[in-house]
Structure formats: structure tokens, C-alpha cells
Amino acid sequence: MAQYPSAAALRRAAGASLLAVALLAPAGQARAADTENKAAGAEAESPAPAQAPARLPPSPAARPPAAPRDEPPSDTAPSPRDTAAQPAAPTPAPAPAAARDDGPRRPRFCAGIRAGNYTFAAERIAERARSDGLDLEVVHTAGAAENLRRLSAGECDFGLSQSDLFDLRSAEEPEAVRGIAPFKRVYTEYVHVLCPIASGLTGTAQFGPNTRLITGAEGSGTSETWRAFRAAVPRLDGVQRIPDPVNLVAVNRVKDGRDVCMLWVSGLNSSDIQGANAMSANTPDKRRTMRLISVNEPVLRAARGGDGRPMYRFEPIRARFGSYDNLIDPVRDPESRALRPGSVVVPVVDAIIFAREGALSALPNKGSELVKAAEEAGPAIWARVSPPPPQQRAEAPPPSGRR
């Protein structure tokens, strides 16, 4: 049978253990203090590490937002218990960089498609203005209608557009052109209406529901002119519109058809006119296949814009202008009965620089430099829009009738 110590013996052993712990603790603490003192001395004798180069404090805009006061600093890792108890805080979004100050914004000049007359004119004007200290930014757009919209929205300071389009908007939607004013006429274009000779049409007064008319892409200057015609002459609203681009493909459709006509707005002797003139008589017997017709609508002569002024001037296009001899019917002299070059009378449309309210007053010379630039660029622009007849043409930029 095993012998167990008595309770008295156990109490004597426990008291001895407690006495040993009490006697040994000061010695252990002394040894630990001595170890710490030696380590501190060694650290004091070792050389200090090289300091990192000084950096300027970041600007307030570049500093990340300060953490809330009840959160630990960003360089203090939370304990596993804290991580389990609390969801991770979202990473703060960086503060936006300070805005760059590049100086005054360049005035924006809304033009048109890259290969069109509006862009050519705007670039020539901008070149001239730059030499006088006015740095214009030429902006490519879809053309006349978009330029007015951008001016109204404050996206451009200046823009080229058509006189009849501005007048139409002034009458229909005055708010759409509020704060926009015509500033400088740059050049003039003519409303051309081309029909097959086989159709028998000689003027727009003969147009009816069976007439089919190519009017250009929706929103183009040509389509907007036709919209102005329809607003003034409700009968024309019954004409079947074909929103095809105005180009030689459209001219060929007129040549090969009997009931399709084409309308487009361009200068005299444009590349499209030259192409149409050559195509008209390009037949085995050299007979003409197409003719330009008159816009003989009396109501259009009385049409007024929002300011009460006539929307259109009417001028003749004469066969002897150069590229029209195969497109305009000759007329017989009443006395000699001899045939002589004929003419057709059509509305003319002005290409105008429009200015947003306040844009002119912001220029150093209040717009004088822009007038001077447009005047100096005029000859180059006119040679592009309405080039001289082929037999008289000097070296000039390739013309185009489309904007």
C-alpha cells in the first residue's frame, strides 16, 4: 500500500518553495538590468545610420485624407482580435491633383468636315489671325447646323454657318440662337438644282409629289436649305426627299434617271459642278442629259428671317461663267434668232462667321483682328469656293463644293 505525505508535510514544502522564489527574484531582475545596460552601451558605441535626404512636404492637394481619430495610425497593424471583430476600413480615394493653370483658353472656331470649304476658310483665317497675335483653335464639326448648336452651348466662340439656316432658327426657335450674332460674311454660295432633261422640269414651281430630290445628309447645309424652302413653301413638303450625300454618285443617279433631281449649295465652278458639266454631254451623240433649273418660287422671295429681313437674295448663274455650258439651256436672241448662252436664277446663301455673346469683347482688339484676318484670307478662300473657269484658272487649291 502506497504511503502519501501528510498534510503537514505538504504545507511545509509549499512554504519552502515560496521562500525560494522570493529570494531568487531580485537576483534575476539584477541580471536582466545588467544585460539591458550592456546592450544600450553597445548601441551607443555603434555609428548612427545615414539619414535619408530631406523631402518637401506634399501639397495639401496631394496628401491622402487623414484617418479618423478613433482609428489606429496607418503604420500600426491591428491585432488579430481587432481584425476579426471589425470589418476592414475602405482604402481612402486619393485626393484630386491640383488643376493645371495653362493660361487663357484659346478661342475656339467651329468649322466643318476636314476636306470641306468651312474648314479651308477657317484655317486660312486662323493663319492670318495668328500673325496678329490671335491664336484660334479650329474645331472640326459636321457643318453649319452643328456649329450653331455648339455656339449656343458655349462649346465654341466663333463658327461658320449659313445665313438662311440662322434666319430659320431665329424664326422657329429664338432661344436656340439667343446670344449668337452674325459677325462677318466670308463668301457666297449658290443653290443649284440639277434635273435630268428627260424629266421636262425647268423650275422648282413644277415640283410635286412625284418629284424625287437628293437633298444631302440630314443636318448638312444643303438639307437645311431645303428645310427652309419647305417652311416657306408648304407645297414642297410633298416632294420625296432622298438623304444621300451630294457627290458624283448622286450626279450619276440624276444622269441615268428620269425622275430624280439633286439640290446642293456650293460656289460657282466647284469640283462637283465641273464633274456634272462634263458628265452631262458625255454621250455618244454629245447631247446633254442634265440641266440646272431655276428656283422660281415667288414665296421664297418674300420669306423673312427672325429680324424681318429677306432670307434670300436671287442672282443668275450664267452659262458663260465657265463650267455650265452643258448644264444651262441656251436661249434664242429675240432679234437675231441666234442661240446665245442662257442663265438660271437661284437664291444665294452667305457663309458667315457667327460670334457667341461676349466672345468679341474678350479679344484684345474687340474683334478687329478677326475682321482683318478674314479680309486678308478672302482671295484664297474665294479661289477655293468659286474658282475661275478652267481656261482662266491659275494655280489654286483644289476646289470642293461640299462643306
Q: Tell me: the pLDDT tens digits for 296-307?
A: 999 999 998 877
Query: Is residue 37 one of the residues assigned to a domain?
Result: no
Is there a contact between 195 and 261 (Cβ–Cβ < 8 Å)? yes
* Phi, psi dihedrals of residue 24, rounded to the nearest 5°: -80, -25
Q: Quote the CA–CA distance of 328 and 296 in Å, as a whole number.
A: 15
User: The cell 523631402 sits on which residue?
Assistant: 55
Overall residue count recorded for the chain in this entry: 403
What would the grid cell of residue 112 be? Answer: 466643318
Predicted local confidence at residue 93, as pLDDT: 52
CATH number of the domain residue 313 falls in? 3.40.190.10
Is 145 domain-assigned? yes
DSSP state of 392: G
pTM of the model as a whole: 0.69
pLDDT at position 120: 97
Residue 276, in any domain of the structure: yes
Average of pLDDT values for 59-77?
Answer: 40
Tell me the per-residue pLDDT of 75-88, one tens digit each, with 9 for 90 and over.
444 444 444 444 45
- Helices (H), ranges, 195-306: 221-232, 248-256, 271-280, 298-302
Of the listed ranges 46-50, 120-124, 135-139, 354-358, the least confidently predicted one is 46-50
In a domain, 298, yes or no: yes
| Residue 61 domain flag | no
Q: In which element (H, E) is residue 260 found?
A: strand 260-266
Q: Which domain holds residue 260?
A: 108-392
pLDDT-derived band at 403, boundaries 50, 70, 90: low
Average pLDDT, integer, range 98-121: 82
Number of domains in the chain: 1
Does residue 27 belong to any structural domain of this protein? no
Residue 209 lies in a domain: yes
Q: Has residue 215 been placed in a domain?
A: yes
